[in-house]
């Protein structure tokens, strides 16, 4: 193994700016790290989800920074230590010199760590480096929920880069249910959530209501409540949420995560657009 496979992958992006080049290298690093985890028994216990999962396996056209995982079964004693060590060893073969930092808070069900690298950019031929020949350190946050909601479903997807490997991920209805939980329960406006909402609804992805009900009972304003979650409840509650949001705040959040050719479409973001998306979705799914 060598840096050549990373260089070839980076060249395939045909980046036009330093920002694009830096983002491309972050995405490549994510894929190498994900493949590295498949060398371990990590996916025997865990499943991949979130925005980076959508980008890698479904081609959603937005940037993402984090690795999000959840255990298949609750295990508060689950530790990331051995997996972080394996990541460091594996990525060293590609020219990375990882720093790994465990940021898990005591008694937290969500284990957090950061993986960082500032070496790979120094051994590649980059076209848009700054004048001082430096670039920002690649930084990826890794989170795993060790006390996941019940009811998720899973499937196997395959990576082709940097080598063929299999990854356990949540299926699309479970992914969408998790996103709806975030849309309804997040305490601040995250435009990336609503970008994903458009992606899911435009494809008519169904909702895993069992997983959503369990997540709502576990965390958020409905915590501890036995809710009967169905299509009608979701549509009504999402409608209320859409009508309450500051859409300028949502646009400000998503702006740096989309490519240049999508920026103009963000000007369409308002209550009416998202209500229209919701109504169209409601008319075509059960």
Over the chain, what HEC string results? CCCHHHHHHHHHHCCCCHHHHHHHHHHHHHHHHHHHHCCCCHHHHEEEECHHHHHHHHCCCCCCCEEEEEECCCCCCCCCHHHHHHHHHHHHCCCCCCEEEECCCCCCCEEEEEEEECCHHHHCCCCCCCCCCCCCCEEEEEEEECCCCCCCCEEEEEECCCCCEEEEEECHHHHHHHHHHHHHHCCCCCHHHHHHHHHHHHCCCCCCHHHHHHHHHHCCCCCCCCCCCCHHHHHHHHHHHHHHCCHHHHHHHHHHHCCHHHHHHHHHCCHHHHHHHHHHHHHHCC
Instruction: State percent of the chain over pLDDT 90.
Output: 72
Domain boundary (170, 185, 200) is at: 170
Q: What is the pLDDT of residues 112-164, one digit of tens each?
A: 999 988 888 777 877 775 534 556 788 899 999 999 999 999 999 999 999 99
Say which residue, 70 or 65, is predicted with more confidence: 70
Q: Identify the CA nearest to 95 among candidates 118, 113, 115.
A: 118
- Tell me the torsion sign for CA atoms 252, 256, 260, 265: negative
163 and 198: one domain?
A: no
Tens digit of each residue's pLDDT (9 = 90 or more) over 73-105: 999 999 999 999 999 999 999 988 888 887 777
Looking at the structure, tell me whether residues 133 and 272 fall in a common domain: no
Check which CATH number belongs to the domain holding 62 and give it. 3.10.450.620
Q: How far apart are CA 165 and CA 152, in angstroms?
A: 22
Q: Last residue of some domain: 104, 139, 170? A: 170
The verdict on 177 and 145 lying in the same domain is: no
Question: Does 163 share its domain with 181?
Answer: no
Residues 8 and 149 placed together within one structural domain of the fold = yes
pLDDT tens readout for residues 225-238:
989 999 999 999 99
| Same-domain check for residues 164 and 206 | no
Averaged pLDDT score across all residues of the chain = 91
* Global pTM exceeds 0.75: yes
Measured distance CA(140)–CA(131) in Å, rounded: 25
How many domains, in total, are found in the chain?
2
Q: Please give the pLDDT value at position 265.
A: 94
Please compute the mean of the pLDDT values over residues 25-42 and round it to a whole number: 94
Pair 200, 214 in one domain:
yes
Structural domain that includes position 185:
171-286
Residues 108 and 142 in one domain: yes
Query: Quick one: 150 and 177 in the same domain?
Result: no
- Of 170, 189, 217, the domain-final residue: 170
Q: pLDDT tens-digit profile of 154-197? A: 999 999 999 999 999 999 999 999 999 999 999 999 999 999 99
What's the mean pLDDT in 23-28? 89
Please give the residue that has the higher pLDDT: either 200 or 227: 200
Same domain, 16 and 29: yes
Order of strands, edge to edge, in the sheet holding 66-71?
99-102, 110-117, 138-145, 66-71, 46-49, 165-170, 154-159
Same domain, 88 and 198: no
Residues of the chain with pLDDT > 70, as a percent, come to: 97
């Amino acid at each position: 193994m060598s840096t050549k496979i990373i260089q070839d992958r980076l060249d395939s992006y045909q980046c036009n700016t330093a920002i694009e080049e830096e983002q491309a290298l972050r995405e490549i690093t994510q894929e190498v790290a994900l493949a590295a985890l498949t060398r371990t028994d990590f996916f025997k216990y865990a499943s991949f989800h979130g925005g980076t999962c959508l980008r890698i396996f479904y081609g959603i056209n937005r940037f993402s920074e984090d690795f999000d995982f959840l255990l298949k079964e609750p295990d508060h004693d689950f530790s990331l230590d051995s997996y972080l060590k394996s990541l460091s060893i594996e990525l060293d073969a590609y020219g990375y010199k990882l720093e790994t930092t465990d940021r898990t808070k005591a008694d937290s069900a969500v284990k957090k760590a950061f993986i960082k690298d500032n070496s790979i950019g120094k051994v590649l031929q980059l076209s848009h480096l700054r004048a001082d020949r430096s670039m920002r350190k690649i930084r990826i946050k890794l989170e795993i929920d060790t006390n996941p909601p019940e009811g998720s479903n899973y499937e196997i997807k395959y990576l082709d880069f940097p080598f063929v490997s299999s990854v356990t991920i949540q299926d699309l209805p479970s992914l969408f249910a998790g996103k709806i939980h975030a849309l309804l329960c997040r305490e601040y406006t995250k435009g990336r959530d609503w970008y994903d909402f458009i992606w899911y609804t435009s494809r008519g992805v169904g909702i895993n209501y069992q997983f959503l009900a369990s997540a709502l009972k576990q965390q958020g304003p409905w915590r501890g409540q036995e809710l009967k979650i169905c299509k009608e409840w979701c549509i009504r509650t999402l409608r209320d949420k859409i009508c309450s949001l500051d859409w300028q705040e949502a646009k400000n959040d998503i702006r740096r995560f989309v490519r240049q050719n999508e920026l103009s479409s963000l000007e369409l973001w308002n209550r009416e657009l998202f209500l229209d998306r919701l109504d169209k979705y409601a008319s075509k799914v059960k």
